[in-house]
Structure 1
Amino acid sequence: MPVLQVSPDKTHFICEGRPFFYLADTVWSAFTSATEEEWKEYLEYRRLQGFNALQINVLYQWDASIPYLRFPFQRDERGEYSSFQIDEAYFDFAEKLLELATQKGFIPALVLLWCNFVPYTWASQRGIPMVMPFETMERYVEYAVRRFEKFSPIFIISGDTNFGSQETVRYYLRALEITKSIAPQALTTFHLQPQADLPEEILHSPYLDFYTYQSGHVKAEQHFPYVLGEKFSALTPQRPVVNAEPCYEGHPYGFTKDGRFRVFDVRKAIWQSLLSGAQAGVTYGAHGIWSWHRKGAEFKGVEFSGEPFEWRTALTFDGAWEASFARFVFERFLLFGMRPAKRLLVGAPQEICLTVAEDGRKFALYTPFAQTVTLQLDVRQYGRYLGIDLERKRFFEPLIRFEEGRAYIEMPPFYGDCLFIGEK
């Protein structure tokens, strides 16, 4: 299987010597909830859309739709799962799903420890079951990595976590160490809560390969795609950055539930992330896919996430095509290795994002609405300009003028979001 690596400039991935745009879908609940036939149907649809990675929770998703079809642990004498005794049949089936996925070209990105399994995280402190004893965690992580390393996965050490105490850090750091000792070629990362920062011990660990962040599903926090992209791309040491959880399409606004994220919200989050430093790729999510929701099932995450769509309905949401189009543009115009450059925007709203190549030979700019954009950039050096009406996927030649050391990209004759690319 092809092995994913980090590029020499630490901004993106490479695979077989070429830049690789990480385009993942969110299917946290696949191992517990999908049947083999459903999985085949799902994989074929995402394959034709151009997805190349799948984010899956190795264990069960506490806020998914139930009942689960399978469970990773055996029941004890009281009929409970608290013993953490591995159910081999569960992992056998998980391997079958991964074999089907990798045969179609997908890279598994496997979450080892969702935050409810680790002490002093927000989930474990809310009483969401169930925290593993430290030695049990060690045995489980070793077991899971050994079972799945043959599929050349990415290992996501944490899921939706914060770091509530030094004990939390100890758990995750040990899981990272075990993972790398068994699968040294596998890339590793942490999936975080939107407000979480990586502890210094993890940030500077030689076993951590790239950063991910979650811009999330709260309406008032939809500046996070570009704010967190800039933050993580500026960290030392430098590593590739991915927004691994933008707003899910169809997801109600978190807690308030007075609206749902639509295709424009998803597209905006994608492009703001990519042009603000999170250029290694992006993850898409549809509300109903991640929980593998079936009609009539009980959804355990309703307090924050509201009512989900049936998974087959969510599979056909338009936002997945937007994510696929972003991959096409990135690969077609080789937008890898670029650097966030908001400092070159003059009087622009924060939502407008600009990235410029290190050698200055290329720029890309995203604006979520029509307006004239002013740049402190000598655009006369560029021999080619392209505009893309992202809503309608129309390509056009933008009108650009240069006056008194500033470039003015004139407002296009439509009101939607658009992307501008300039190349020497």
Structure 2
Amino acid sequence: MRPLRSLLLALVAVTIALATHGQGNWPHGRLTVAPDGHYLQYEDGSPFFWLGDTAWELFHRLTKEEIIRYLDNRMEKGFNVIQAVVLAEMDGLYRPNQYGDIPLIDQDPEKPNESYFQLVDYVVQSACDRALFIGLLPTWGDKVTRMWGGGPEVFTTENAYKYGHWLGQRYMEKENIIWILGGDRPAIHDSVDTRPIWRAMARGILEATSGKALISYHISGGASSSQQIHDEPWLHINMMQSGHGSGHDVPVWDWITRDRAMVPTKPTLDAEPNYEDHPVNPWPQWDPENGYFDDYDVRKQTYRSVFAGACGVTYGHHSIWQFWSAREEKINHANRYWTEALDRPGAFQVGYLRQLIESRPSAHRIPDQTIIVDGQGEKGQHIRAFRDDAGSYLMAYIPQGRTITVDVSSLKAGALRGWWFNPATARTIDMGTLSHTRPLELTTPTQGFGNDWVLVIDHKAARYSIPEF
């Protein structure tokens, strides 16, 4: 990214944050599920597109100065949700944070350590000042059911309720919190059913917040919460983890389609697709002999899940979730310190995705594969498309540039305007006026592997401008 563009983004982000701060920090109210059940919005009806980042060890491994550096960087890039864990995965109950504090006294969820939670308070408020949500995980899943990882298992239904209630009461006035249970664990595995514990924790949070909490569930890799707990009344948003363990081009678009069709209707998103700079080799080896996922892999998964109808998406970088630095031991072949990973290409590019979605009315997006008449493709070539319910625009993500045929009959009759968007660079190319009389055969500006493009066709009468990114 050019330095001037970076500076302008920073200035815009700071201006927005300061304006928000001057209006009581959160002018649109709390986050809620939109009336259609598929997307999210604020209490005042303003649409919300979830662009998350995985910062699991944020409370556990960083100083205040480092936390502010991280939050400022993510605000500048357009992220609006930071996913972080109170009782962290990496020996989070025994190893203190950077100020010498552990979260629980005697590893007892009924005895939270006030000094540790003062740092959590600081992060929540610092995020609020920057118009950022904290996707707050009360605990990593190994504290409920170990399966793998360090544990220990410390939760019962009784103390989970009390811990959830204590947390909910502490943050009941904070409008920038999205609650996320689960922590990389299934709710049911083999003969172990942990749903009673999560129900108890959710009940505590909801009672303490007078039912105002918005709750989701971060499940383990290769799964969606919809497959185990969709009918739980406390679950407001389904989350899936297409993850890092199944190679390239996991068909997350099919998972999104499945989740959207379930009743009752709930928003869904991929809260952990393949991390940028994570080894491609399958779990549990994580050996980098097959290389690392790069920004192109990130774009393919994030765009196709969103275009399939997700309410947003979460980005992740392998060094940032663990905040690897000179004072930490690297996990699973991280290849650079977190400070060096802040400005990796994928982190900029998911910000372009949010800007693209928000450049058009986004509250009533409808996934529609009938738009692609020819050239849809499979796996790495698979295209996803959507339109709005008013017939004013459509978009299609093409992961490998080529000639395709699109049906524009879903758009209102009349002149159309087409343009190409490069998701790697945010470059746009105006195609000018297009015909509405028949399916259109169009060829992307560049073709082949690594050359992904977004096709946007607007109804001219809508007078949408081609945005400057």
Match of 2:207 among 164, 181, 187: 181
Structure 1 range deviating more: 104-113 or 8-17: 8-17
Residue of structure 1 equivalent to 2:452: 417
Report how many aligned residue pairs link the two structures: 409
Q: Which amino acid in structure 2 is aligned with residue 130 of structure 1?
A: P
1:123-142 pair list within 5 angstroms: 124-126=146-148, 128-134=150-156, 135-142=158-165
* Amino acid corresponding to residue 430 of structure 2 in structure 1: E
1:56 aligns with 2:84: yes
**Quick check: 1:213–1:244 contact (8 Å CA) kept in 2?**
yes
Q: Which has the higher contact order (CA 8 A, sep 6+)?
A: 1
User: Which region of structure 1 is more displaced relative to structure 2, 151-160 or 334-343?
Assistant: 334-343
Paired residue for 2:46, among 8, 18, 22?
Answer: 18
- The 8 Å contact of residues 226 and 239 in structure 2, kept in 1 or not, is answered as no
Q: How does 1:33-52 map to 2 (within 5 A)?
A: 33-52=61-80
Q: In the aligned structure 1, how far is the partner of 2:182 from the partner of 2:303?
A: 25
**Which residue is equivalent to 2:4?**
none
Looking at structure 1, the residues matched to 458 and 49 of structure 2 have their Cα atoms a distance apart, in angstroms, of: 20
- The answer to whether residue 316 in structure 2 is matched with residue 285 in structure 1 is yes
From 166, 179, 202, the equivalent of 1:143 is 166
Structure 1 pair 83/284, CA: closer, same or farther in 2 (3 Å)?
Answer: closer
SS of the aligned residue for 2:396 comes to: strand
Q: Deviations over 1:365-412 (max 9, x none)?
A: 000111111234437846222211222322113499879963322233
Deviations along 1:209-236, whole A, 9 cap, x unmatched? 2122111113525323322222222222
**Alignment CA distance shift 1:12-1:348 (3 Å):** same
Q: TM-score, normalised by structure 1?
A: 0.88
- Identify if the C-alpha distance between structure 1 residues 63 and 230 changes in structure 2 by more than 3 Å, giving closer, same or farther: farther
1:287 deviates by 1.8
1:86/1:161 Cα in 2 relative to 1: closer, same or farther (>3 Å)? same
2:359 counterpart residue number: 332
Stretches of structure 2 that go unaligned for 5 or more consecutive residues are 1-25, 460-469
Q: CA RMSD in A?
A: 2.7
Quick check: 2:164–2:203 contact (8 Å CA) kept in 1?
A: no
Amino acid at match of 1:282: V
SS of match in other structure, 2:136: strand
In structure 1, distance between residues paired with 2:455 and 2:83: 30
What's the secondary structure of 1:228's corresponding residue? Answer: helix
SS in 1 for 2:87: coil
Q: 1 CA distance for matches of 2:91 and 2:184?
A: 12
Q: Name the structure 1 match of 2:427.
A: 394
| Deviation digits for residues 289-327 of structure 1 (CA, Å, limit 9, x no counterpart) | 11121125213x42xxx2252111111212111111111
Could you list the per-position Cα deviations for residues 98-155 of structure 1 after superposition, in whole angstroms to 9, with x for gaps in the alignment?
A: 1111111111110123221223xxxx13363111241222222222222223322110
Q: Report if aligned partners of 1:398, 1:409 keep a CA contact under 8 Å in 2.
A: no
- Aligned residue type for 2:351: S
- Give me the whole-angstrom Cα distance separating, in 1, the residues matched to 2:323 and 2:429: 40
Cα distance 1:401–1:14, how it changes in 2: closer, same or farther (>3 A)?
A: closer
Work out the CA distance in 1 between the residues paired with 2:69 and 2:431.
41
Is the CA contact 1:58–1:110 (under 8 Å) kept in the aligned structure 2?
Answer: yes
**Residue 156 of structure 1 aligns with which residue?**
180
| 84-93 or 109-118, which deviates more | 84-93
Counterpart-to-counterpart distance in 2, 1:181 and 1:87: 22
Residue of structure 1 in register with 2:234 after alignment: 207
Q: Distance in 2 between matches of 1:393 and 1:199?
A: 34
Residue 55 of structure 1 deviates from its aligned partner by 0.7
Which residue does 1:368 correspond to in 2?
399
Letter in 2 for 1:33: R
Contact 1:293 1:308 in 2 (8 A): no
Residue 36 of structure 1, CA deviation? 0.7
d(CA) in 2 for partners of 1:372, 1:8: 38
Q: Return closer, same or farther for 1:199/1:211 CA change in 2, 3 Å cut-off.
A: closer
Q: What pairs up with 1:183-198 in 2 under 5 angstroms?
A: 183=209, 184-198=211-225
**Identity within the alignment, %:** 25
Are the equivalent residues in 2 in contact too, given 1:340–1:356 (CA < 8 A)?
A: yes
- The code of the aligned residue for 1:423 comes to D
Instruction: Give the Cα–Cα distance (whole angstroms) in 2 for the partners of residues 149 and 308 of structure 1.
Output: 39
* Rounded Cα–Cα distance in structure 1 between residues aligned with 2:247 and 2:96: 33
CA contact (8 A) 1:284 1:323 kept: yes
Q: CA deviation at 1:417?
A: 0.5
Q: Would the alpha carbon gap of residues 170 and 274 (structure 1) be closer, same or farther in structure 2, given more than 3 Å must change?
A: same
- Look up the equivalent residue of 1:266 and give its one-letter code: V
SS of the residue corresponding to residue 100 of structure 1 reads helix
Question: Residues of 1 paired with 2:193 and 2:436: CA distance?
Answer: 58
Distance (Å, rounded) in 2 between the aligned partners of 1:200 and 1:263: 29
- Say whether the 8 Å CA contact 1:386–1:420 is kept in structure 2: yes
Q: Distance in 2 between matches of 1:149 and 1:288?
A: 32
Q: Which amino acid aligns with 2:148?
A: R
CA contact (8 A) 1:169 1:199 kept: no
